[in-house]
Structure 1
């Protein structure tokens, strides 16, 4: 059975980044600030990439993640304000967003004293507005923005909700100027079902964590490859500073 482009990336023996030819001759920047923003998915990605990127002279990785948070509850953690403040403080060249695993509860609008259930027009409107504000704060600070879509989930009902949320996130993020990186295909089999492990030429390697939501350390590196691949493709001037991501 033939695999798609992202499945081929995940199944490869090395986790290399595809880069345009022009990137090979572009000058390497002295410093490349990467700001990671989001919930436990972004936190896992940051922690898994940190040992790799910290050994390199150019990338400076900044942890703006916080587990058990989401876009829906500004009364608990205001991601719009946090993005604004961190982007202003660190002046990142690349801002990476990955968030939403906790966003299926009601969305609270404090100033209006209203709550909007997931799946309602009010939820979609306010959620999209917050995504737009987050991306805009990053780009206003001079960053290029990449928004990672949510992956497939083991529980079918949860997975269906994720697809709805992905549609809201993608439309708002792209309209605000971010690059959308789909992770659904890379985390699904050929029939669109949850993919717990990645088939390799001689074996199969576990890709997702036991909770059916998060990833193993190796799985996060694979998602990191998608991120770097997209960043290199859309922002070739950043590619030399990012380098190539190799499997641990």
Structure 2
């Protein structure tokens, strides 16, 4: 084609490809490129990874890399991480601060004496926790043993399930305790059968029958011959249950005191200043801890120890020295050394320590008599005290004082 003909052609004709095969190939390349870009975006958004295929000989450990790592590189293989210097890893471990709390060493187990005093704990699930708390309280007392005989689902109402007056008699005969601790009544908020008819909770017939069963239980546990500590019931989350528990505590307190026992009131330890149920309160050390479970019924370990603390004071008072930990009895073998000063005629140089000044020491103040033996000095003018004691005359009040009633006032 001649140059003149080329100049006369349309510019669009010059830029157009010469064949349709080239147009189709370019469109396919653009289409594949768009598909690759869309796939990359999709993999990035969904977080999928591409598994790099390796030969069979090298597939001991398959490495999983993301699409971005395959595209741009990066990432350290596990094999390289394993080949990291052990010294560097050790230094990093040593430099990391340790947040693990160090538990205190366990207390040594104290062997109980053969003639140790026994504390019998009976009752329901609350009594079981009280027994645990008392066991912890007297763990270091060799002269005290806590014996637990409880039934978690028992009470005084359902004697067909567990008859406490009958069971307590055989238990008391077996254990032969020095003190009996009872905590019962949490499961007794139900009807009671009296003379073949069911009586509602806290009705007059219900209360009369419940009091009779309390007296039977006290008699089965030794009556007035054995010290009885009846631990009261705490508040509960349910308001209706708490109302019934208040009434039960009053009924139990009356019968226990009439039988010569001691009622341990723990109510204030599990309510706030307004008398409402609390989950968290003070433990035996005054620290704020969780006392009750999420259901408002179960008592935590700190709560059980707190209940036992109320009974512990009375138990220590009743047992005396047997309840003290590490009691040392003085005898001729372990008397402390007592310094005896030498007699006046002995060598004073043998004295190894300074002696206290004696009351009869003549060199105390240069005199040889006590103050009471000294004659009183005679005064020419009696003091206001002497005038009041000897003569019965009050001294004249000074001018301007409120008790000076002279009129007209003395002129200066």
Counterpart position of 2:311: 227
- The answer to whether the aligner puts 1:91 opposite 2:176 as a matched pair is yes
Cα RMSD over matched residues? 2.3
3-state secondary structure, aligned to 2:222? helix
- Cα distance 1:31–1:148, how it changes in 2: closer, same or farther (>3 A)? same
Counterpart position of 1:37: 122
**Structure 1 residue 204: deviation in Å?**
2.2
Please point out which of 115, 119, 130 is paired with 2:198: 115
Native 8 Å contact 2:132 2:305 kept in 1: no
Counterpart position of 1:172: 255
Please point out which of 260, 276, 295 is paired with 1:193: 276
- The answer to whether the aligner puts 1:75 opposite 2:160 as a matched pair is yes
3-state secondary structure, aligned to 1:185? helix
Counterpart position of 1:214: 298
Native 8 Å contact 2:137 2:312 kept in 1: no
For 1:52 and 1:180, the matched residues in 2 are separated by 20
Unpaired stretches in structure 1, ≥5 consecutive residues: 1-27
**Larger Rg over CA atoms:** 2
**Structure 1 residue 164: deviation in Å?**
0.8
Unpaired stretches in structure 2, ≥5 consecutive residues: 1-112, 326-412
**Structure 1 residue 231: deviation in Å?**
2.9
Native 8 Å contact 1:39 1:99 kept in 2: yes
- Cα distance 1:117–1:137, how it changes in 2: closer, same or farther (>3 A)? same
Native 8 Å contact 1:135 1:177 kept in 2: no
Q: How many residues align?
A: 212
For 2:304 and 2:218, the matched residues in 1 are separated by 23
**Structure 1 residue 106: deviation in Å?**
1.0
The CA deviation string for residues 118-150 of structure 1, in whole angstroms up to 9 with x for no partner, is 111111011111111211222348421000111
Please point out which of 156, 181, 199 is paired with 2:264: 181
For 2:286 and 2:260, the matched residues in 1 are separated by 41
**Structure 1 residue 57: deviation in Å?**
2.0
- Cα distance 1:69–1:194, how it changes in 2: closer, same or farther (>3 A)? same
For 2:162 and 2:282, the matched residues in 1 are separated by 38
For 1:179 and 1:151, the matched residues in 2 are separated by 17
TM-score, with structure 2 as normaliser: 0.48
**Structure 1 residue 62: deviation in Å?**
1.5
Counterpart position of 1:25: none
- Cα distance 1:48–1:128, how it changes in 2: closer, same or farther (>3 A)? same
- Cα distance 1:62–1:108, how it changes in 2: closer, same or farther (>3 A)? farther
Greater share of strand: 1
**Structure 1 residue 56: deviation in Å?**
3.5
TM-score, with structure 1 as normaliser: 0.78
Native 8 Å contact 1:93 1:142 kept in 2: no
The CA deviation string for residues 168-205 of structure 1, in whole angstroms up to 9 with x for no partner, is 11111111121000011111111101122124799621
**Structure 1 residue 153: deviation in Å?**
1.0
